[in-house]
Amino acid sequence: MNELYWRIFLNFSFFIIMLFIAGFYCILVTRNLIRVMIGLELLIKAVTLFLVVACYVSGQAALGQALIITLIVMEVVMIAVLAGVVLSIYRHNNSLDARRLRELKG
Amino acid sequence: MPSLLILMPLAGIMILNFAFGRTMKRSAFWFAVVLFLIQIILAIFHHPVFWSNELEMVDRFFNVSFSMDYISFIALLSIGIVSLVSLLVARCSIDNEEDRFNFINLLVIASIGMSGIVMVKDVFSLYVFLEITAAASFILIAFWRKRRALEGAFKYILLSAIATIMMLTAIALLIVLAGDPSFSVIKSALGRSSSSFMVTLAVGIFICGLFIKGGLVPFHGWLPDAYSSAPAPVAILLAGIVTKVVGIYTIMRVMISLFGFSASMGRVFMFIGALSILVGAFAALGQRDFKRMLAYSSISQIGYILLGFGTGTTIGILGAVFHFFNHAIFKSLLFVNSAAVEDSVGTTDMDKMGGLASRMPITGATSVIALLSACGIPPLAGFWSKLIIILALWKSGHVAYTLIAVFASVLTLAYLLSMQRRTFFGKLADGLEDIKEAHTRIRVASIILAAITVLVGVFFPLMFDNFILPVKDILLR
């Protein structure tokens, strides 16, 4: 990896870490299930960007394209399932408050 | 031709869903039975004609390539058996034909994902198959859209997504280091890599993600919730095989063929394993719910597998692989029994049961076999694998871990016996006078699993020489 690529990698890493922090903050602070989903999306976006940069700096742009498209498809599946679960929880509880998810413990 | 194990079920599902309407839907059950039987038979005989020949045209067309070794055979065998059992239980616990059809589709998709995980050769395919398995199991947990199940599913999805994100970060780091996602390229690149910080970071993040997926102790919060709220056949599938393949099997695979085993990682594994054993066993002692107790017991047993693997010696890894198989069998048997009890009594609260053995003799008897195997009473299968793990720990000089492993066996006996006494033994509880034995298919499933436990235990040398011992060839490579 030459000097220019290394600098690109470091610059992007900075923003990716910021995105990670934003995502984790969003998940940890909020009590709203939809906001948890948004936080999760932020994290996935961060990791997607990281993969793009990783493939670019290692000179594997074609490989990167294949990986990213697969990643986006898998991510959509997961978020769709999660949205379905959140919707069903809303139908049961009539609220999106995460504090009401306390039936299972012990 | 290993790719056929992925492509055949996939094609089958497409045909079942697109064409011919109701008659095809009714045959879905038999299609799945045949599929799992084929997988079991291929894994038992593991003839090289099937496994090492490649169908060039098919493989090139779909651009897939898989590789097999002896750990994969053990995993494929367990996947086949547990999926078949889950299917048998689902046949009588899901009445509606439409629902059952959906269940069978999801079950086959989950088993495609797991078969993929055990055969992959590069990290990105590993991620894809992990995600296929996970997506199918999310939907399966929330299958009836009951309140508790939704809560369990939500927790599982959230933690599993975070685990996935951690693994993808590690994959990106590995691609920066090696420039290619295949196992062999990454392994050789890691061997001559200079930036040790990035390697450590990648390995650490990857393994932590897998710990979350496998429900090991500092990361186990989702596991009891998901297991105890899931419908009965799904709980069998999850506890029997899903978390084991996506968690513990993948840890073994990446440590052996991706990162290479190191002593420091071995120490981490042994510590996490011992912690899981103790926390799981103590938490199981205090449970009232049948399935929840079994879930904690599952954490504890997975700890044994990791403890054996963490020794890094050949005999320890052989013990871990053997316990992987045995645990898949006896834990599914216990969950089948919980399904039978839930089916007849209508609850899983153990305080409301008692004396069921007089009404449900087969369920009671097979449950005794499973619990004796779980706590390692000879000559059942669980005894041999625990013995091998404990011997490996002793031989590699870890006296404290050996004592923990032996002591936790006693704890296992304690909580499982208390389960057995509260549920099956003693006086028949009030209001349970007209309980009947579970449905024939559940009984068949539990008899099959109990027979496997006893036979593997009695014919231990046969099993060990043909399936477990060849694993050591992989380690020498």
B454 to chain A nearest CA, in Å?
Answer: 33
A37 falls within a domain: yes
A7 falls within a domain: yes
What's the gap between Cα B285 and its chain centre?
22
- Cβ contact (<8 Å) for A40 and B148? no
B384 falls within a domain: yes
Question: Strands, DSSP E only, in B223-283?
Answer: none
Q: Measure CB to CB from residue A78 to each of B135, B229, B288 and give the nearest one.
A: B135
Q: Is A31 on the interface with B (CB under 8 A)?
A: no
* Count: domains in chain B: 1
**CATH number of the CATH domain containing A31:** 1.10.287.3510
3-state secondary structure B332-373: HHHHHHHHHHHHHHCCCEHHHCCCHHHCCHHHHHHHHHHHHH
Question: What are the φ/ψ torsions at residue B360 (nearest 5 degrees)?
Answer: -125, 70
State chain B's mean pLDDT as an integer: 89
A29 falls within a domain: yes
3-state secondary structure B103-134: HHHHHHHHHHHHHHHHHCCEHHHHHHHHHHHH
A102 falls within a domain: no
With a cut of 90, say whether residue B96 has pLDDT above it: no
State the best of B147, B349, B351 to mutate against chain A, taking most chain A CBs within 10 Å: B147
- The domain of A79 spans 3-95
Summary count for chain B: helices (H), strands (E): 23, 0
Predicted pLDDT of residue B358: 83
B342 falls within a domain: yes
Predicted pLDDT of residue B19: 66
* Count: domains in chain A: 1
Please say whether the beta carbons of B50 and B204 come within 8 A: no
Report DSSP state, residue B289: B
Q: Give the closest residue to B155 by CA, choosing from A59, A13, A58, A85.
A: A85
B233 to chain A nearest CA, in Å?
Answer: 20
Average pLDDT over residues B418-439: 82
B168 to chain A nearest CA, in Å?
Answer: 7
B313 falls within a domain: yes
B80 falls within a domain: no
pLDDT tens per residue, range A29-75: 999 999 999 999 999 999 999 999 999 998 888 888 989 999 999 99
Q: How far apart are CA B23 and CA B440, in angstroms?
A: 24
B225 falls within a domain: no
- Cβ contact (<8 Å) for B139 and A92? no
Provide Rg for chain A, Cα atoms.
18
User: What is the band of B28 on the pLDDT scale with cuts at 50, 70, 90?
Assistant: confident
- Cβ contact (<8 Å) for A54 and B165? no
Q: Measure CB to CB from residue B175 to each of A55, A82, A93 and give the nearest one.
A: A55
Residues of chain B in contact with residue A101, where contact means CB-CB under 8 angstroms, are 151, 154-155
A100 falls within a domain: no
- The domain of B459 spans 263-477
Q: How far apart are CA B397 and CA B148, in angstroms?
A: 45
Predicted pLDDT of residue B430: 77
Residues of chain B in contact with residue A97, where contact means CB-CB under 8 angstroms, are none
A104 falls within a domain: no
Q: Measure CB to CB from residue B165 to each of A43, A55, A59 and give the nearest one.
A: A43
Give ipTM to 2 decimals: 0.95
Q: How far apart are CA B170 and CA B168, in angstroms?
A: 5
B378 to chain A nearest CA, in Å?
Answer: 33
B162 falls within a domain: no
Determine the Cα angle at B80 with ends B74 and B82, to 5°. 100
B156 falls within a domain: no
Q: Is A51 on the interface with B (CB under 8 A)?
A: yes
